[in-house]
Structure 1
Amino acid sequence: MLKIKEIYLRWFGILVVALIVNFFIKQHEHAQMPIWQQVLISFTFTAILWNGVLFIMLRMRKRYTSIQKTPRRLIVTSVLASLLLVFGSNLIGMVLGLCSLDDLKNPAYFFRYAHVNFIVAIIVTSIYEGAYFFGKWKDSLIQNEELKSQQIRTQYGVLQNQMSPHFLFNSLNTLTTLITEDQNTAIDFTQTLSDVYRYILHNKERELVPLCEEMEFCQSYVFLLKKRFPENFEVSFNIPKTKRHLYIAPLTLQMLLENAIKHNAITKGSPLRVEVKVDENNLLEIRNNLQTKHSLEISTKTGLENIKKRYQLLGQRAINVVKTEKDFIVQVPLIELISEVEHLKSAV
Structure 2
Amino acid sequence: MKWPNEKMTRWVGIPIVGFIMSFIVKDHEHEHNSLIENIMISMVFTGVLWNGAVLIIFQLRKKFPDLPQTGNRLVVTYLVVTLFMIICPNLIRLSLGIVEFSELDDIKNIFMNSEINMVAAFMVSSVYEGAYFFGKWRESFAFAEQLKNQQIRTQFEVLQNQMSPHFLFNSLNTLTTLIAEDQKVAIDFTQTLSEVYRYILQNKERELVKLKEELAFSKAYVYLLQMRYPENLEVNFSIGDVFNERYIAPLTLQMLIENAIKHNIISKTEPLQIDIYVDKRDVLVVKNNLQLKKTLEKSTKTGLANIRKRYEFLGQREIDVITSQSNYMVAVPLIEMLTELEFTKSSTYDRINH
Same fold by TM (over 0.5)? yes
Matches within 5 A, 1:113-192: 113-162=113-162, 164-192=164-192
Output the CA distance in 1 between the equivalents of 2:256 and 2:14: 56
Q: 1:330 to 1:164 in 2, by over 3 A?
A: closer
Deviations 1:195-239 (A, max 9, x none): 112111211221111111111111111111111211111111111
Q: Give 3-state SS (helix, strand or coil) of 1:152's partner.
A: helix
Amino acid at match of 2:130: G
Does 2:10 align with 1:10? yes
- SS of the equivalent of 2:274 reads strand
Deviates more, 1:291-300 or 1:29-38: 29-38
Counterpart-to-counterpart distance in 1, 2:319 and 2:58:
30
Flag structure 1 segments of 5+ consecutive residues without an equivalent: 341-348
Residue 182 of structure 1 and its aligned partner are, at CA, apart by 1.6
Secondary structure in structure 2 of the residue aligned to 1:285: strand
**Deviation (angstroms), 1:29:** 4.0
Gaps of 5+ in 2: 341-354
Q: How many residues align?
A: 340
SS at match of 2:332: strand
Matching residue of 1:218: 218
1:204 and 2:204 correspond = yes
* Corresponding residue number in structure 2 for 1:272: 272
The one-letter code of the counterpart of 1:111 is F
Offset from partner CA, 1:227-264 (integer Å, 9 cap, x none): 12111111111111111101111111111111111111
Distance in structure 2 (CA, Å) of the matches to 1:163 and 1:275: 21
Q: Are the structure 2 counterparts of residues 224 and 79 from structure 1 closer, same or farther at C-alpha, using a change threshold of 3 Å?
A: same
CA RMSD of aligned residues (A): 2.2
1:283 paired residue number: 283
Q: How many percent identity over aligned positions?
A: 53
Q: Is the 8 A contact 1:247 1:334 kept in 2?
A: yes
Counterpart code for 1:177:
T
Partner of residue 256, structure 2: 256
Question: Structure 2: how far apart are the matches of 1:191 and 1:338?
Answer: 31
Structure 2 CA distance for aligned equivalents of residues 135 and 155 of structure 1? 30
Q: Is the 8 A contact 1:21 1:116 kept in 2?
A: no
Distance (Å, rounded) in 2 between the aligned partners of 1:165 and 1:301? 17
CA contact (8 A) 2:67 2:136 kept: no
> How many Å apart are 1:3 and its aligned residue?
8.1
Per mean C-alpha deviation after superposition, the further-off stretch among 330-339 and 51-60 is 330-339
Partner of 2:49: 49
CA distance in 2 between counterparts of 1:40 and 1:102 reads 25
- Give the TM-score of the pair, scaled to structure 2: 0.89
Cα offset, 1:126, TM superposition: 0.3
Residue 244 (structure 1) aligned with residue 281 (structure 2) = no
Q: Which amino acid aligns with 1:130?
A: G
Distance, in Å, in 1 between the alignment partners of 2:189 and 2:76 is: 62
| Contact 1:157-1:301 within 8 A present in 2 as well | no
**8 Å CA contact 2:78, 2:122 repeated in 1:** no
1:343 alignment partner in structure 2: none
Q: Is the alpha carbon distance of 1:297 and 1:37 closer, same or farther for their aligned partners in structure 2, counting shifts above 3 Å?
A: farther
The one-letter amino acid of 1:268's match is K
- In structure 2, the CA distance between the partners of 1:310 and 1:320, relative to structure 1 (3 Å rule), is same
The CA deviation at 1:328 is: 1.1
Using the TM superposition, give the Cα deviation of residue 85 of structure 1 relative to its aligned residue in structure 2, in angstroms.
1.7
